[in-house]
Amino acid sequence: MPIRFLLWISILFFSTPVHAQPDHDIEGTQRPLRALLICGGCCHDYATQHKILFEGIQERGNLQVDVWWTDDKSTNPPLPLFENDNWADGYDVIIHDECAAANRDVELMKRILAVHKTVPAVHLHCAMHSFRNGTDLWFQHLGLQSTGHGPHLPLQVTFVDREHPIVKGMSDWTIEKDELYNNAKMFGAHPLAMGSQIIQRDGKETNAEAVVIWTHDVDGTRSFSMSIGHYSEGVADGRYLDLVTRGALWACRELKPDNLVPFAGENQVTFVPSDKPTAKPKKPVAKKMPENPTLVHVRASSVESGRIAAKALDGNKKTRWCAKNGDYPQWLELDFKEPQNLDGIRIQWETKGPYQFRVLAEDAEGNSSVVVDHANATQQIKGFQPLGNITDPIKKIRIEGLGSDQDGWCSIREVHLRQPVEQNQLSEPSRILKTLWPADENYKPLFQPTPAARK
């Protein structure tokens, strides 16, 4: 018999994978379980959250939490980890925290699910909205399907199976701000907690409710899932980290006192940079700059890639300024080169849903006051809003976005300003300041043709 064949046989029968090691090492101490945390993709601060999670879990349980994460912010982040059939070898449990809604690679998903026929899983937040490829396979694995979420509001967590070992002894609590994922279909999930939000829309109060914490068992392989956890502050909450830790141990059938002790060793963190090239900003599409423009420097609290603040003044309703995420408050500020006599403002928000906002105006002396206040708006604010509490020419206007009832990010398509009647005794359309034009911090006009283009 060839020596290489004998060697292969010896490896096959005598090598021991990590997940099959005995519960105790030579000295009799409890062997740490090995978990793999996968993070990256759209809409979340994974650079912060992956660290919160692995540190918080290792402080609470005898789990070595290795990490695989990417800084890619798209809905289809690179996931080369799953290209190998044996991607989970050596791990006792996988913690899915990726956000990959646009990943439609059915074969990749099948490689993930093949592993989870024997390896337990934990699923966090956006993992519920990943792998939307036209099949129900991912959702059958999760135990339920979610197709969307509500606004960023306080979310009440109420336990419904208080005797389950993962949550036993825990108290209900209210998360300061989070997303409530809906329950479109149930595929055998066992609810541990319900989430609820009170939503104000069109002057009506609605109580939305859905399962937010659950377990699932497929042919003896367990999984634990939580759809809460959008914001880093919520992920860092001790109760959230307790649940993740206990859920991972339960899924491994190792939720026992010996494992509810800190992990003392070192973990491994693998960073995979985005494989998408940094996009060059698209040239703004704007109407022709007016003669003798009223120049205004526009800046914002934050900017989503490509949707710069000046686009709120470019005269094009198809473009817009947008904040970099769904957090509030956000603001857009207009700083005029020369103070302007104004008596009204009209804001065209990205969506038609109710936005809560207020407008502040500042004169040339630096005196500031609130001139429009819709901080408690429950309906869409349309048309020009009068600028109250200020009579002097305005040097700066700041629009403060405070919230959105339809979970919209702070985003404005166009801002229009109106001159007072005494300055222009014409109809309202004629009083609109049509010469308004965005400029840089030195009041150099933006969005104008280059000299080479003028012929």
SS (H, E, C) 158-198: EECCCCCCCCCCCCCEEEEEECCECCCEECCCEEEEEEEEE
Phi-psi region of 50 (alpha: psi -120 to 50; beta: other; left: phi over 0): alpha
Domain boundaries, the chain: 15-272, 294-453
pLDDT band at residue 25 under the 50/70/90 scheme: very low
Residue among 284, 313, 316, 257 nearest 450 (CA): 284
CA–CA gap between residue 68 and residue 357 (Å, rounded)? 40
Name the β-bridge partners of 94.
36, 121
CATH class of 294-453: mainly beta
Q: What pLDDT does 451 receive? A: 44
Q: Which CATH code fits 15-272?
A: 3.40.50.880
C-alpha distances in Å from residue 63, one per residue of 33, 38, 53, 54, 329: 5, 15, 12, 9, 38
Token pair, residue 437, equals 């034009």
pLDDT band at residue 449 under the 50/70/90 scheme: low
pLDDT average, residue stretch 315-335: 90
Q: What pLDDT does 448 receive? A: 65
Token pair, residue 299, equals 């800046």
Q: Residue 12: phi, psi to the nearest 5?
A: -60, -40
279 vs 426, residue with greater confidence: 426
Which residue has 């939305």 as its token pair? 208
Residue among 419, 450, 429, 430 nearest 294 (CA): 419
Q: What pLDDT does 455 receive? A: 36
pLDDT band at residue 16 under the 50/70/90 scheme: very low
Least confident among 109-113, 276-280, 351-355, 371-375? 276-280
Would you say residue 345 has pLDDT above 70?
Answer: yes
Q: What pLDDT does 331 receive? A: 96
pLDDT band at residue 185 under the 50/70/90 scheme: very high
Q: What's the pTM value of the predicted model, to 2 decimals? A: 0.63
Token pair, residue 75, equals 């809905």
Residue among 269, 266, 271, 270 nearest 63 (CA): 266
